[in-house]
Amino acid sequence: MTIPATPGRHVYTQVTDVLRGRIAPLAPSRPGTADGPLRCALIVPHFAFGSGGHQVVFQLGHQLERLGHVVSYWVHDPFDERPDATGNQLRDAIVKAYAPISGPVFSGFEHWTGTDVALATGWQTVYPMMALEGCRARAYIVNDHEPEFYPTSLESIFAARTYELGLPCIVGGGPWLANQLRSRYGAPIAATFDYPVAPEFRWRDVPRRDDTLVVYGRNVTPRRAVGLALIALEELKARRPELRVVLFGDEGAAALNFEYEHHGAISAERLSHVYSEATVGIAFSLTHGSLVPHDMMSCGLPVLDLEGYGTAAEHADSGLIELAPLDPLAMADALERLLDDPQLRAARSQAGREYVGAHSWPASAARVEAGLRDILRAREPAPGA
Contacts of 195 (CB under 8 A, 6+ apart): 56, 172, 173, 289, 291, 294, 359, 364
Distance CA 89, CA 86 (A): 5
Residues 167, 128 share a domain = yes
In a domain, 249, yes or no: yes
In a domain, 8, yes or no: no
Distance CA 50, CA 249 (A): 8
**Residues 351, 224 within the same domain:** yes
Ranges of the chain with pLDDT below 50? none
Give a yes or no: residue 4 inside a domain.
no
In a domain, 205, yes or no: no
Pair (373, 311) in one structural domain: no
Residues 179 and 261 in one domain: no
Are both 284 and 353 inside the same structural domain?
yes
| Residue 171: domain span | 16-196+361-379
CB 73 within 8 A of CB 105: yes
Q: What is the pLDDT of residue 317?
A: 72
Q: Does one domain contain both 183 and 234?
A: no
Does residue 11 belong to any structural domain of this protein? no
Give yes or no: residues 122 and 158 share one domain. Answer: yes
Is the domain of 159 the same as that of 45? yes
Taking CA atoms, 345 is separated from 230, 307, 341, 375, in Å, by 22, 19, 6, 44
Same domain, yes or no: 259 and 288: yes
Q: What is the pTM of this model?
A: 0.92
* Residue 5: other Cβ atoms inside 10 A: 5
Same domain, 228 and 139: no
Q: Is 235 among the domain residues?
A: yes
In a domain, 309, yes or no: yes
Give yes or no: residues 349 and 373 share one domain: no
In a domain, 151, yes or no: yes
Q: How many domains does the chain have?
A: 2
Upper half-sphere CA count for residue 37 (Cβ side, 13 Å):
7
Burial category of 235 from C-beta neighbours within 10 Å (exposed 0-12, middle 13-18, buried 19 and up): middle
User: Residue 60 gets which letter from DSSP?
Assistant: H
Q: Do 254 and 374 lie in a common domain? A: no
CATH code where residue 283 lies: 3.40.50.2000
pLDDT tens-digit readout, 245-268: 999 998 889 899 999 999 988 999
- The predicted pLDDT at position 80 comes to 86
